[in-house]
A and B are shown apart, each in its own frame.
Chain A
């Protein structure tokens, strides 16, 4: 557990630094509030719709799903990579079978157009 004490110390520093600077700025800065200032930054005319109602491209969801698939794959590869020297030829061949199966999925996603953004 003692290995994590420096991390806790550093997280303390890293969290308090932005909070302290923002608080100091709060003490000294000018504050002349105005409802017009608090409007969303747009062309100047009162916005007719909220950003939270905006719909966006379905491709973003697709990218997220693909990311989860391939990221889990990389997570599986990590312990193998660290033990690569000990596993030697057996581990090498076995992981290549795993990779080959994944490449099939990758090629499928590519052919279905999931990887192209238009």
Chain B
């Protein structure tokens, strides 16, 4: 019992630390990546290659004054950043970062680098918790009692619920092929060869999922909520200091979740085709492979942000309802037919 708790605590600490370090690194990658794409230098003064810039930024944010607008609804105003960041963190625990089913720690089997290995409703948990993030945004937008925030919050919540539909329908195809809600099973089914990856067998579903993931994380080209030319900063106009930092961190954590989810559902998780390793080596290699795949998608987020212009709001809604929704249903039909005919394993 206690050994089991110790193993769980160790996993929680590892994953939590990984999350906390991902955010500053991603901020640095984004700023340096922007500079690289726009042919300028970017932050390069604090630390080697400007690596400590995000750390200094956090210190600055901590010392900034925290202004609460007099007209705000205080309780909800304080609650919104907590919901945003808390939800962004909690989604991580069902993602299997690495294999290691034959390794034990303190005499307790590790069952892979996943915080909650026994949770058999992994995908449902992810979708349920993930959709809670809309509360953080809509509460922030409404409780600030500011016109910009209200519009930003409304736009964002409408966008999130529209793209959530396409996303859940795209995930459905993966579940049909897997026959289990456990993310470890999703990964296990894709092992062996590249053509077992769901990204290859369900190209439409993958495309829909990726586009919806960009919209769900409020990233360009879908960052209508914080369209700075119209809404200043959208739902977090009135937030300052660490409360603003909470929203900021939540955005980057959501990106990491979306990347991890794409890798798990469509790119075979921590498996490397043709390579089977066991024991601790297997655990480390599969975790490294997972992180490498994840890094590619995190870079894709940055790449797309600095390459594409922003959508207009009516175009955004049209794409979600008239484009992605039928496509996701088409993917369902394809998977259904292919599996019934025996074309897919």
* A residues adjacent to B (C-beta < 8 A): 2-7, 9-11, 13-15, 17-19, 21-22, 24-26, 28-32, 35, 37-42, 50-52, 54, 56, 59-60, 63-64, 66-67, 70-71, 74, 77-78, 81-86, 88-89, 92, 95-96, 99, 103, 106, 110, 115-118
Give 1 or 0 for each of B76-93: 1 = CB within 8 Å of chain A CB: 000001100111011011
Which residues of chain B come closer than 8 Å to A24, judged between CB atoms?
62, 242
User: Does B34 sit at the interface, judged by CB under 8 A?
Assistant: no
Cα distance, A25 to B66, chains bound together (Å): 9
Which residues of chain B come closer than 8 Å to A84, judged between CB atoms?
175-176, 179, 336, 339
- Please give the distance in Å from B133's CB to the nearest CB on chain A: 12
Interface residues on B, range: 35 or more
* B residues adjacent to A (C-beta < 8 A): 4-5, 8-9, 11-12, 15-16, 20, 61-71, 81-82, 85-87, 89-90, 92-93, 115-116, 118-120, 124-125, 142, 144-151, 154, 157-158, 161-162, 164-165, 168-169, 172-173, 175-176, 179-181, 232, 237-238, 241-243, 245-246, 313-314, 317-318, 321-322, 325, 329, 332-333, 336, 339-340
Our pick among A13, A64, A103, A106 for the contact of B12 (Cβ within 8 Å) is A13
- Please give the distance in Å from B210's CB to the nearest CB on chain A: 18
Q: Is the CB of B321 within 8 A of A56?
A: no
Which residues of chain A come closer than 8 Å to B340, judged between CB atoms?
88-89, 92
Q: Is the CB of B62 within 8 A of A6?
A: no
Q: Is the CB of A19 within 8 A of B150?
A: no
Which residues of chain A come closer than 8 Å to B16, judged between CB atoms?
10, 13, 17
Our pick among B67, B150, B321, B333 for the contact of A54 (Cβ within 8 Å) is B150
Known contacts A17-B86, A81-B175, then 10 further A-B pairs from the complex at CB < 8 Å, ordered by chain A residue? A6-B116, A7-B125, A10-B116, A14-B85, A14-B90, A17-B89, A51-B71, A60-B158, A64-B158, A88-B340
Q: A42-B147, A56-B154, A117-B313 are in contact. Are A25 and B67 (CB under 8 A)?
A: no
Cα distance, A100 to B103, chains bound together (Å): 48
Our pick among A15, A67, A83, A116 for the contact of B86 (Cβ within 8 Å) is A15
Inter-chain residue pair count (beta carbon < 8 A): 206
Which residues of chain A come closer than 8 Å to B238, judged between CB atoms?
40-41
Which residues of chain A come closer than 8 Å to B71, judged between CB atoms?
38-40, 50-51
Cross-chain pairs A/B with CB under 8 angstroms, 20 sampled: A13-B12, A13-B16, A17-B16, A18-B86, A25-B63, A29-B64, A29-B65, A32-B65, A42-B146, A56-B150, A56-B151, A63-B158, A64-B161, A67-B165, A77-B169, A96-B333, A96-B336, A115-B321, A116-B314, A117-B318
- Please give the distance in Å from B140's CB to the nearest CB on chain A: 12
- Please give the distance in Å from B87's CB to the nearest CB on chain A: 8
Our pick among A37, A60, A67 for the contact of B154 (Cβ within 8 Å) is A60
Q: Is the CB of B124 within 8 A of A78?
A: yes
- Closest residue on chain A to residue B73 by CB atoms: A52
Cα distance, A46 to B85, chains bound together (Å): 33
- Closest residue on chain A to residue B168 by CB atoms: A74
Q: Is the CB of A3 within 8 A of B120?
A: yes
Our pick among B8, B92, B164, B179 for the contact of A82 (Cβ within 8 Å) is B179
Q: A14-B86, A74-B165 are in contact. Are A25 and B242 (CB under 8 A)?
A: yes
Our pick among A4, A28, A115 for the contact of B63 (Cβ within 8 Å) is A28
> Most B CB atoms within 10 A — which of A4, A26, A28, A41?
A41
- Closest residue on chain B to residue A34 by CB atoms: B67
Cα distance, A118 to B322, chains bound together (Å): 14
Which residues of chain B come closer than 8 Å to A88, judged between CB atoms?
340
Q: Is the CB of B172 within 8 A of A77?
A: yes
Q: A19-B82, A51-B147 are in contact. Are A40 and B158 (CB under 8 A)?
A: no
5 closest A-B pairs (Cβ-Cβ)? A3-B118, A14-B89, A38-B70, A25-B242, A117-B314
Which residues of chain B come closer than 8 Å to A82, judged between CB atoms?
175, 179-181
Q: Is the CB of B162 within 8 A of A67?
A: yes
Q: Is the CB of B81 within 8 A of A85?
A: no
